[in-house]
Structure 1
Amino acid sequence: MTAFVLVSGSYTGGWVWRETADRLRESGAEVHPVTLAGMGEDRHAAGPGTDLETHIEDLVQLIDQVDAPQVVMVGHDYGIHPVLGAADRRPERIARIVYLDAGLPRNGDAVLDLLPDPSVRERLLHRAEQSEDGRRIAPPSLDEPELWGSLAGLTEEARDRLVRLAAPQPLATLTQPLRLSGAVAGVPTSGILCTASGVSIDLLETLLRMGEPRLQALVDPRVGFFDLDTGHWPMLSVPGELAEVLLRAAAGEGHRLVAPERPGHLGPFLLEVPERPRERVGRVDLHLPDADGPRPAVVFVHGGPVPADAQPTPRDWPSFVGYGRYVAGLGAVGVTVDHRLHDVADYGRAAEDVAAAVELARADPRVDGDRVALWFFSGGGLLSAEWLSAPPPWLRCVAATYPVLAPMPNWGFADSRFSPAAAVSGAGDLPIVVTRVELEIAEIAGTIEEFLTAARDCKADVEVIDVPLGHHGFETIDHTEPAREAVERAVRSVLGHLGG
């Protein structure tokens, strides 16, 4: 008989698991839905010392009381932090850890420090300051989806129930760092991905193919993955399906990730382009044409997040070297930049790097500062928002290739600063060239469609170039004639808008 310990996310308690727990018990499993100290129906027990360590100790005591020799620990959202802490102290009692639409916290990580949007973090801290004791965060309303996560799949009754039973979250549970000895690293794990939150097995495999080093630890026969086509609260939206997946996870089932022999982004560029002179200035490379007098420039903005220690860095990836050389061969200056988008919390810093690269290029005497295009790729697509919302007169075109054009729901962005879909209404008559691939990751394809719908509504000048049977990162993966034609067409279009 399998014993499950179910730990839910912020503002909730054991009540949230009721339907899923019933289904698990019907299968013969032993189930322990947990209400942590000061949470859920135990909200009045929160004291000045209620912190992450309190919740870890709650789970350690429960593990010690369970008769089953081993238990399956399920951590949803915030719940994965105390789950990992408790499993690290009782690794011999843990059969498996299940990450249910949860992050991958490491030793020293505090929940608030992992939030990608600083404004959300500040808002939560302010709420704690405004509480009666200064130690608890009031639960959000349904009008704050960046705090609840995706509510996709929830009925009106379930939404009302979630808010009605929500309890304040003790602040110290979110600010105290998680401390791990490393013992938990040997415990088998499973990941249940709620696709409406913006993550799926397909996305993980694409990132792995693109060489994302942080996913290498997940290429392990002890790690299995499952998709659930729902939002962040599957125990309320699809409790039966969740129970079935939990039983399969406990049995060691699940999709296994396989690392490619060579990261896709390090494959050769799909076009043969001759070498061009290249100058490096700080984070910026200039690919120079054979031309007299100032020439138009195309600034290529890579995607991400890209780990800070990644080698080679994006401006030396074959695709960006290829694009830079290609436009230089056609008479424009190709500009590539290593911006510092190392985490989803780094978009503000990356935006500053891109703006600095643009100014550096425009100030170069070989560049016509009044004829500049910005070309964004993948996760870098969000950086186009500020340029779309108020385009300067020298910006002649914005291009985006397999771009992310709206924040993923689980990224927790509270405003539209990095939402091109919201910003496009300010683009006016600025030409926009979007290249999309037929075999795009569903989560990213959804953001592109959201953007194109918004663009149609405001009558923005958008040209769409499709790549039949193309994949994300197709320039170094799909060496097909349609893929080559798509690159050539996109470059011709962008240069045409620059008057070159």
Structure 2
Amino acid sequence: MTRTTDTPAIVLIAGHWLGGWAWDEVLHHLNAAEDLRTVALTLPGLDDSDPERASRTLDDQVAAILDVFSRLGVSKDQPATLVAHSGANFPVSLVLDRHPELVHRVVWVDSGPVADGSVFAPDLPDEVTELPLPPFEVIGQQASLEGLSDAALERFRARAVPMPGPVVRQRAALTNDARREVATTLVCCSIPSTQVRELAAAGHPMFAEVANLARLDVVDLPTGHWPMWSRPGDLAELIRSAAAQTD
């Protein structure tokens, strides 16, 4: 059953290895605002109780996001704010491509839209069924761990779920330029906004799509790659502000 209401809907999606639990501290701050409806989604493939999780695909993840939209009563007249952290940019980019009319604003958290043809792990052999969370010394060379306490790192390790092979091997097919017209807030954490803009202008593969966005706001939130743990209150306020924007 769908639910229609004037209360704005916000859907939070964390990056690789993470479920909806990763947003617990942010939700604590957002739920203090009675004028918001917020859902933290665990994507298919990242639910450790799902016996088929290793076979889930990006298309399954897109379907799950759209199902949440349906349950929240999201429509063209009542679009949602979609918040994507890190590797959630793949399924969220696909949602924007297929149903841009359902998104009031997309908030990229230390992330950004992917380009047509992008693949997260193009060289991953077919026989590899999943990608577990690497050691933190390896992750720290690829993404900043700044601001994370020992307790946060322990929780990350304990609750992380391996990424399904089909998800990280699937190519993102994007054909609808309307995805670039959706209002966008880019929250820059581990890389400052000035550098992000420079990389986008230079056509860097990770940020090239940023240069194509028609309605872009850029905000700095200096911290590591997981601001939902290092600066949850500040991130919640940025999300609330983005969801409230009407232009």
Normalising by structure 2, we get a TM-score of 0.84
| Match of residue 34, structure 1, among 37, 41, 44 | 41
Match of 1:153, as an amino acid?
A: G
Tell whether 2:49 aligns with 1:54: no
Alignment-derived partner of residue 82 in structure 1:
91
State how far apart, in whole Å, the 2-side matches of 1:88 and 1:206 are: 25
Q: Which aligned pairs between 1:486-497 and structure 2 lie closer than 5 A? A: none
Q: Secondary structure at the match of 2:235?
A: helix
Q: Secondary structure at the match of 2:18?
A: coil
| Match of residue 109, structure 1, among 112, 115, 118 | 118
Per-residue deviation, residues 85-133 of structure 1 (Å, max 9, x unmatched): 12322222110111111143112211124xxxxxxx6xxx37x85xxxx
State how far apart, in whole Å, the 1-side matches of 2:26 and 2:41 are: 13
CA contact (8 A) 1:140 1:147 kept: no
CA contact (8 A) 1:9 1:79 kept: yes
1:66: how far off?
Answer: 1.1
| Match of residue 201, structure 1, among 171, 193, 196 | 193
CA contact (8 A) 1:19 1:239 kept: yes
1:15: how far off?
Answer: 0.4
Count matched residues: 231
Q: Secondary structure at the match of 1:190?
A: strand
Alignment-derived partner of residue 29 in structure 2:
23
Q: Secondary structure at the match of 1:248?
A: helix
1:38: how far off?
Answer: 2.1
State how far apart, in whole Å, the 2-side matches of 1:180 and 1:193 are: 24
Match of 2:92, as an amino acid?
A: V
Q: Which aligned pairs between 1:292-307 and structure 2 lie closer than 5 A? A: none
Q: CA RMSD in A?
A: 2.4
Alignment-derived partner of residue 103 in structure 2:
94
CA contact (8 A) 2:54 2:130 kept: no
Q: Which runs of 5+ in 1 are unaligned?
A: 114-120, 254-500
Q: Secondary structure at the match of 1:97?
A: strand
Normalising by structure 1, we get a TM-score of 0.43
State how far apart, in whole Å, the 2-side matches of 1:43 and 1:12 are: 14
State how far apart, in whole Å, the 2-side matches of 1:102 and 1:227 are: 12
Tell whether 2:225 aligns with 1:232: yes
State how far apart, in whole Å, the 2-side matches of 1:110 and 1:51 are: 13
CA contact (8 A) 1:224 1:249 kept: no
Q: Secondary structure at the match of 1:225?
A: strand
State how far apart, in whole Å, the 2-side matches of 1:5 and 1:55 are: 13
Alignment-derived partner of residue 354 in structure 1:
none
Cα–Cα, structure 1 residues 225 and 231, in superposed 2: closer, same or farther, change >3 Å?
A: same
Per-residue deviation, residues 253-306 of structure 1 (Å, max 9, x unmatched): 9xxxxxxxxxxxxxxxxxxxxxxxxxxxxxxxxxxxxxxxxxxxxxxxxxxxxx
Q: Which runs of 5+ in 2 are unaligned?
A: 1-6
| Match of residue 133, structure 2, among 132, 139, 146 | 139
Cα–Cα, structure 1 residues 18 and 248, in superposed 2: closer, same or farther, change >3 Å?
A: same
CA contact (8 A) 1:60 1:89 kept: no
Q: Percent identity?
A: 29
Match of 1:95, as an amino acid?
A: H
State how far apart, in whole Å, the 1-side matches of 2:199 and 2:133 are: 34
Bigger Cα Rg: 1
CA contact (8 A) 2:144 2:224 kept: yes
Q: Secondary structure at the match of 1:144?
A: helix
State how far apart, in whole Å, the 1-side matches of 2:141 and 2:174 are: 26
